[in-house]
Copies of this chain bind each other. A is one copy, B any other.
Amino acid sequence: MSRVAPITRTAAATVNDATERSLATLRMRFDQARAQTLALTDGLSAEDCALQSMPDASPTRWHLAHTTWFFEVFVLERFEPGFQPFHPGFRMLFNSYYNGVGDKHLRAERGLVSRPGLADVLAYRENVEARLRGLLQAPPVDAAAQVALTEMIELGVNHEQQHQELLLTDLKHLFSRNPLLPAYRQGWPSVPVHPSPAGWLACPGGLIDAGASTASFAFDNERPAHRVYLEPFELSLRPISCGEVIAFIEDGGYRRPELWLSLGWDTVQQCGWEAPLYWQSQPAGERSGGSKVGRWQTFTLRGVVDISPQAPAVHLSHYEADAIARWQGARLPTEFEWEQMAQQVAVEGNLLESGLYQPTEALAAPPPGLPTQMFGDVWEWTQSAYLPYPGYRAAAGAIGEYNGKFMSQQMVLRGGSCATPRSHLRATYRNFFPPQARWQFSGARLARDLK
């Protein structure tokens, strides 16, 4: 009944909400998110934070500044009495894509800005944080304004979490372009892992509920909740593994057009793809034991490591995921098939908090009769284009640009990855990227028709 995001439509609905999640909780969430971002930059130099490796990726320093800009422009500017900008040039410089806010710096040129430097941006963060905490100490007395404020801060916290993941994937891409292949973190945390059993889980389909219906936070693109009719299908118990990708490669998968969507095949040829992103083939002579599997290594945030055949495959484009599925006589699930299954599973797994920053085997023993690793490890490409749900309408003003205008030429991914904060996820969460994108922690899970 309450339809809300991203800001909230009616004061009535949101007052409940604001009451529930008290200001104290919000303050904690805010502090935690901001600290989490900073913690991710531990050990990085000013230069690590300044460079941009491709137009799709942004410098770490830009992420630090832009997440701050979001709070400054969408919270302080609206709610702080006597608001003055921290720096008059930042409004344009750290605007990502909000035309409603005014001019913006070109995305592809974020790596051309050496000043403000890292120290300046950290000062910017501190300043805006302090003022935001002040606002949370003395919120507007008007109930509707208070609701609007807390909602916008909640959105800002979720926005910050999204950029935590991007900060890691962008940094990984940058380090991969350095011929010396530096490691972001040294050594691996020791975690117990469990084999993920192969197999399928059937679902009878029918008319199901999809999308976010609760009052708790969800992005506007997860709403409104609505009904979808599903044909019977089955879903793989686990994501596509590296071992399956190796078998695909060895079966000539990257050279067989019949396995690919037409644009996928064009991309394979134009980009010379022969394996997932960051994979590198080891010359025969240097392989341990001459094993075929030993042929492959991959660059990670901890440097170059041998591929583990049991681990979920990652850094796949939608095109590769689709081709690997076809090669196995299967297909990718729709986002609604995925969501239907995910509703039965807890939001747990190899998420940002594991500190691995790389997919691995299941961290917990697989639940009987349920799929494993639905959350964490890898974002799972679906067969669904990223389109508005029935009745979707973007919010008015600049904040309406958050999600809606990107509903073209992208595919939906579900489930989060090893770089997603746990509190950021839920079964209805929709991530989206163009089908050729590979630098995210993206993999897939197979589905099959049951008719």
Contact = CB atoms under 8 A, between A and B. Distances in A.
Interface of A: 45-51, 53, 61, 89, 92-93, 97, 99-100, 105, 109, 111-118, 174-175, 177-180, 182, 207, 226-231, 257-258, 260-265, 319, 331, 383-385, 387-388, 390-391, 393, 401, 405-409, 435, 449, 451
A408 B261 contact: yes
A117 B45 contact: yes
Contacts of A92: 179
A315 to B, nearest CB: 18
A114 B408 contact: no
Contact of A387 (B53, B179, B385, B451): B385
B182 A231 contact: no
B408 A99 contact: no
A99 B268 CA distance: 15
Contacts of A226: 229, 231
Contacts of A384: 387
Contacts of A100: 258
B262 A97 contact: yes
Given A46-B50, A111-B111, A230-B390, 18 more contacts: A46-B46, A47-B49, A47-B115, A47-B117, A51-B114, A53-B112, A114-B182, A116-B180, A226-B229, A228-B229, A231-B391, A261-B405, A261-B407, A261-B408, A264-B408, A383-B388, A391-B451, A409-B409
Contacts of A93: 179-180
Contacts of A258: 99-100, 401
Protomer copies: 4
Contacts of A264: 408
22 contacts: A45-B115, A45-B117, A46-B47, A47-B47, A47-B50, A48-B117, A50-B51, A50-B114, A51-B111, A51-B114, A92-B179, A97-B262, A99-B265, A112-B174, A113-B178, A116-B180, A207-B229, A226-B229, A263-B409, A319-B408, A384-B387, A393-B449
A408 B435 contact: yes
B50 A390 contact: no
Contacts of A230: 390
Contact of A390 (B112, B178, B231): B231
B112 A177 contact: yes
Contacts of A118: 47
A262 B50 contact: no
A407 to B, nearest CB: 7
A180 B175 CA distance: 27
Contact of A177 (B89, B109, B175, B261): B109
Contacts of A257: 99
A396 B229 CA distance: 28
A258 B391 CA distance: 19
Nearest to A3: B451
A225 to B, nearest CB: 11
A280 B383 CA distance: 40
Contact of A45 (B46, B105, B228): B46
A178 B45 contact: no
Contacts of A228: 229
A447 to B, nearest CB: 11
Contacts of A385: 385, 387
Contacts of A47: 46-47, 49-50, 61, 114-115, 117-118
Nearest to A386: B385
A227 B387 CA distance: 19
Nearest to A400: B258
A387 B386 CA distance: 12
Contacts of A260: 405
A177 B262 CA distance: 25
A384 B386 CA distance: 10
Which one of A48, A61, A116, A408 has the highest number of Cβ atoms from chain B below 10 Å of its Cβ? A408
A391 B451 CA distance: 8
